[in-house]
Amino acid sequence: KTYSQSLLFFYNNFYFFHYKKNVNPETMLLPYLRKKRILFSALSLYVCIYVYCECNVICASLFLFRRHYPANACLIPICSLYGAAVTTVEGIGSTRTRIHPVQERIAKCHGTQCGFCTPGMVMSIYTLLRNHPEPTLSQLTEALGGNLCRCTGYRPIIDACKTFCKTSGCCQGKENEVCCLDQGINGLPEFEEGNETSHKLFSEEEFLPLDPTQELIFPPELVTMAEKQPQRTRIFGGDRMTWISPVTLKELLEAKVKYPQAPVVMGNTSVGPDVKFKGIFHPVVISPDSIEEMSIVNYTDNGLTLGAALSLAQVKDILAKVIRKLPEEKTQTFHALWKHLGTLAGAQIRNMSSLGGHIVSRHLDSDLNPLLAVGNCTLNLQSKEGKRQIPLNEQFLKKCPSASLKPEEILISVNIPYSRKWEFVSAFRQAQRQQNALAMVNSGMRVFFGEGDGVIRELAIAYGGVGPTTVCAKNSCQELIGRPWNEEMLDAACRLILDEVSLPGSAPGGRVEFRRTLIISFLFKFYLKVSQILKMRDPARYPSLADKHASALEDLHSRHPWITLKYQNANPKQLPQDPIGHPVMHLSGIKHATGEAVYCDDMPAVDRELFLTFVTSSRAHAKIVSIDLSEALSLPGVVDIVTEEHLNGVNSFCLLTKPEKLLSTDEVFCVGQLVCAVIADSEVQAKRAAQRVKIIYRDLEPLILTIEHESWENTLILVYFPLTGEIHLGGQEHFYMETQSMLVVPKGEDQEMDVYVSTQYPKYIQDIVAWILKIPANKVMCHVKRVGGAFGGKVIKTGIMAAITAFAANKHGRAVRCILERGEDMLITGGRHPYLGKYKVGFMNDGRILALDMEHYSNGGASLDESLFVVEMGLLKMENAYKFPNLRCRAWACRTNLPSNTALRGFGFPQTGLITESCIMEVAAKCGLSPEKVRTINMYKEIDQTPYKQEIDAKNLIQCWKECMAMSSYALRRTAVEKFNSENYWKKKGLAVVPLKYPVGTVSLAMGQAAALVHIYLDGSVLVTHGGIEMGQGVHTKMLQDACQTLLKRLEPIISKNPGGTWKDWAQAAFDESISLSATGYFRGYESNMNWETGEGHPFEYFVYGAACSEVEIDCLTGAHKNIRTDIVMDVGYSINPALDIGQIEGAFIQGMGLYTIEELNYSPQGVLYSRGPSQYKIPAICDVPAELHISFLPPSQNSNTLYSSKGLGESGMFLGCSVFFAIHDAINAARQERGLSGPLKLNSPLTPEKIRMACEDKFTEMIPRDEPGSYVPWSVPI
């Protein structure tokens, strides 16, 4: 036999050839390219590697299949790329050659902020355009369904996508002579503008045209190789693993006989994560390459046969064609599979995952296996002994030896039968997020009736997410055969299935009662769907579906996002060259889009560079009995392990009021606390050694995780209506795209250190590094080129890790790099503080609040960090937009055994503001008034005082409120929502509008100071140096818009002498006349003060005002929700750059929406964070963008103490996301009122599908079994 001796593929049209001895099968494409220094771009999001992020997307092209597909570079083994052409963001365009239209448009449409996710976005769009040069918007949004962005809110990315769509998707008036795009929501016009919206933030006329003929061609060498050279099995052997790629079925079967335990890998989306995160090792891996028998698509008399090697994306396309071609009665199973494939993972993973791999993996939350099981599918297996066929049934899914694959067998193809005339198949799923999220529960259901008699002849129901693998309700289905399809059957089915498909109270994944409810809620949906079809087929025989049930069959409101923006236009009196007030593109936008923007880990390796990784505590509160480093130190490549003993008495550093400990070797107070640091020659060696560090603990008591607090002073408020209440708010992960990153390089003389770090606060990094090295701060130079997102999370913990990294670099005299992976980052760094808010409120029957007594309990974690500042800011901002005549509010930062929580966008106000708004909601409910009326009556008047006696002019607050009510057509839509709710029992809509008053300032004069330096060089170039950090907010861009005013005044005499000269001429003339071409700027900070003893002061300089109105629709049976429309009105003062300001507002809004709805941190009872990556922790995706989003700025207003009367907008919009929370609250209220539930409604944040579903109580929630508290150990605890 002839085996290939080399690995050959093309990268950006460059030829790559490696002899097999130089190829390590364990290497993925991304680290391979970066190690070879072939790839320098922000494809560097290797720190994620969780499959669900899609920031390192490449385009892979295969000649044999004539297709281009997006894939995750962090998951592709290089050995699988033989004969492929790989294209990255650097290959499609650059500033050195030419930029690609996709790169240009995403930048000029302002679709980039921090820029770390941008290369992945670009490549997802690019790959789609290679396959569909004129895509629909549906195709574009589907292509981006797996890409995540934490900054932009997705709107500008959607704008960029729309420019590639040739048509809008309009029906051309074919539906009742009304344009489908103008049908509106609730039968109302979509958007009535009091004034014309502003011009677009970009000009499409300036864009480069998309010309498919100018794209990279498929390398001719690979075409020749594919067409003429015989295919040969390839074997690559590494130090630990052997990779075998058979090219014929015979060779594949022989390999499986020789290595029966070797996994068969196609896309590596299952085996890869298992190897990475579960520590599973395979000495041999078999990866079939282009085996024809495994890629077949055969149509038979009985059904469709699909090759096991087909990707899920290919399967989806095949099913779509079959559905269009065949009659509906034959495609029931196909349609259900196609529907599930639309939400399964993202486009990148669907293109990598294979049908066979998905089936054989038998994951507990598999979306396809329940459907394939109930659809009577069969599996075609083959080995050297011959062929056989087995059913995909319960025994197969349970991995029973008699019903599963033998070790030497290969799954060749899958038979999917056609459905029959009276056979009906449906699929259901519910996840934390609508797309690219694992299902909490999914189901496949099939029923077959006798000819027109409505009697069950066959019934099959299977569930995923309720057991260790797919669970079939076989006994229940058998019991129901022979029964007529009616409500009595449904009631019996629910009880039978709940008995058979049981979930213990401590089941992994938690949410037990919710999952039990979904089991029968899905069954009810199936019952209704089948009943409706039966009625349509034979109206005389079958009863009509009750009107109230019809809405259960309809999908949530869905349409492509439509956005309008109304911002301030630039002053017409400005000079044409004056950029102030114009939507100037982000300074680094093009570099983000081309991958040329350099982040910390993009920096080339320094000679003899070391890599550092941390060993963290696995216990939440314990005494460290011993630490054994011997095995770790014995591993090759390990240089050192730094412990507390090495730090020479500098193991703590005080930033605020209490010192923060760097490393712990005595006692640990949370899981994820830093214990020691391993330094090795490579990242892989460091991580392997860290796993070998053996720590023995002795658990200590108490173990405190939650902040539930029962104390409450017995005070009496003498008003007409006293009320008490409380609300709990969960935490939030920063989820910046670039994880914690640092590189420390000793300069070699005078103990000087260069620290390259991703941080918001380089001064703190400088101070703590100088402290630990015992050197003056002037010997530490911090470099921060840009930050790939931060949101408050790159200060305290970043400083601690940078200090330890610097210590290692100084000790060994070598550069040391430390880059956290996503799971490590989330485990170590903490996030937003969970809050418990308690309140007593006294009010009149007209809704006027006369007295409010409130307590805040903040979960600070194991150390103080920035918890004190968060609590103080939360206190000072808690009243939001309301004037409470008598107010007392107290707050505590509670120490618990969780990782220390820290600053996060909004700095306490998103929590305390929600507590206040919840109080408003309860007062409204008690008074029988609308929340909007209670909000209006308690709102600040035009000239007023805050609780801390600072004067406030609330004119713009009132104007924002009124404009938002008008712009959103609130009154009309309230009526329409009520009408909709009266007509739909299982779907409900909610509408809510909230005001915003956000104080801006630091409560510290020193913290508000800033400086800048401007140099004009003789060649006319200008250098601007300032103290701000570019982390996506566009501070560099705004600085350049207003950089040279002082210097221009100095140059006026020169310019007047030579008005026709160039900038370079004027600079040279100024130099000749000894006129300084340097200028400094200094701002000493706002005059601010706060006396906490008296509760009075002037802590803030000004206020940002706004209002937001959101409308949502919920599914009462599943808990799913959709944000239909949001209107935002903001007082921005005078906008220096509308594009950046709108981006900050909508990005914050979407992040806030995530905080209040889907972002949920799950901890075990032992304090271990479960949700450590994008597969477990869900931030908003493109599917969560409101179907309509309208943003409007108030006209310019004066603010003499700020630059051009501008206002800081990065934090304030976060709170407006709670308008979605209260809209969901409104919808739940409507459902409960219709069901006659009048008791108190306590809804905590986030309002996840679980909380929505369980609040919409009905007969199904009453039917489920409930475990007695204390009879089981819960999987997770509420934090």
State how far the Cα of 865 lies from the Cα of 741, in Å rounded to an integer.
20
994: burial class by Cβ within 10 Å (0-12, 13-18, 19+)? buried
State how far the Cα of 937 lies from the Cα of 848, in Å rounded to an integer.
6
Residue 653 annotated as binding site? no
Q: Closest Cα partner for 86 from 144, 2, 8?
A: 8
CA 947 to chain centroid: 37
* DSSP SS3 for 945: strand
Residue 1235 annotated as binding site? no
Quote the tokens at residue 693: 């560090």
Nearest 10 degrees: Cα torsion 307, 312, 314, 317: 120
What is the pairing mode between strands 85-87 and 6-11? parallel
Residue 625 annotated as binding site? no
Please give the biggest Cα pair distance in the chain.
103
Catalytic residues: 1211
* DSSP SS3 for 1016: strand
Q: Closest Cα partner for 416 from 525, 313, 336?
A: 336
The beta strand positions in 730-865, using DSSP E, are 741-746, 753-757, 780-783, 816-819, 835-843, 849-861
Residue 266 annotated as binding site? yes
Quote the tokens at residue 340: 């599930």
State how far the Cα of 720 lies from the Cα of 377, in Å rounded to an integer.
68
> In residues, how long is the chain?
1279
Inter-CA distances, 814 with 633, 634, 678, 1059, 1252, Å: 18, 21, 14, 55, 55
Residue 441 near residue 522 (C-beta atoms within 8 A): yes
Residue 400 annotated as binding site? no
Q: Any idea which residue has 């200028």 for tokens?
A: 1079
Residue 411 annotated as binding site? yes
Residue 653 near residue 662 (C-beta atoms within 8 A): yes
What is the pairing mode between strands 439-449 and 456-464? antiparallel
Residue 1130 annotated as binding site? no
Residue 512 annotated as binding site? no
Residue 445 near residue 374 (C-beta atoms within 8 A): yes
CA 13 to chain centroid: 33
CA neighbours closer than 13 Å in the CB half-sphere of residue 1117: 23
Q: Closest Cα partner for 376 from 297, 446, 310?
A: 446
Q: How many CB atoms lie within 10 A of CB 217?
A: 11
Residue 1003 annotated as binding site? no
Angle formed at CA 635 by CA 630 and CA 641, multiple of 5 degrees? 55
Residue 907 annotated as binding site? yes
State how far the Cα of 996 lies from the Cα of 909, in Å rounded to an integer.
11
State how far the Cα of 1131 lies from the Cα of 1187, in Å rounded to an integer.
24
Q: Closest Cα partner for 646 from 766, 425, 811?
A: 811
Residue 265 annotated as binding site? yes
Quote the tokens at residue 316: 């989806």
Residue 1109 annotated as binding site? no
Residue 905 annotated as binding site? yes
Residue 264 annotated as binding site? yes
Q: Closest Cα partner for 783 from 809, 761, 757, 816?
A: 757
Residue 197 annotated as binding site? no
State how far the Cα of 338 lies from the Cα of 1184, in Å rounded to an integer.
21
Residue 1044 annotated as binding site? no
Residue 268 annotated as binding site? yes
Q: Closest Cα partner for 526 from 322, 371, 394?
A: 371
Residue 267 annotated as binding site? yes
Residue 151 annotated as binding site? yes
Nearest 10 degrees: Cα torsion 1025, 1031, 1032, 1036: 0
Residue 109 annotated as binding site? no
Phi, psi (deg, nearest 5) at residue 894: -95, 130
Residue 259 near residue 286 (C-beta atoms within 8 A): yes
Residue 1047 near residue 1016 (C-beta atoms within 8 A): yes
Q: Closest Cα partner for 249 from 185, 309, 164?
A: 309
Residue 117 annotated as binding site? yes
Residue 965 annotated as binding site? no
State how far the Cα of 606 lies from the Cα of 620, in Å rounded to an integer.
37
Per the annotation, binding residues are 48, 53, 74, 114, 117, 149, 151, 264-271, 367, 411, 429, 760, 791, 905, 907
Per the annotation, binding residues for Mo-molybdopterin are 760, 791, 905
Per the annotation, binding residues for FAD are 264-271, 367, 411, 429
Per the annotation, binding residues for [2Fe-2S] cluster are 48, 53, 74, 114, 117, 149, 151
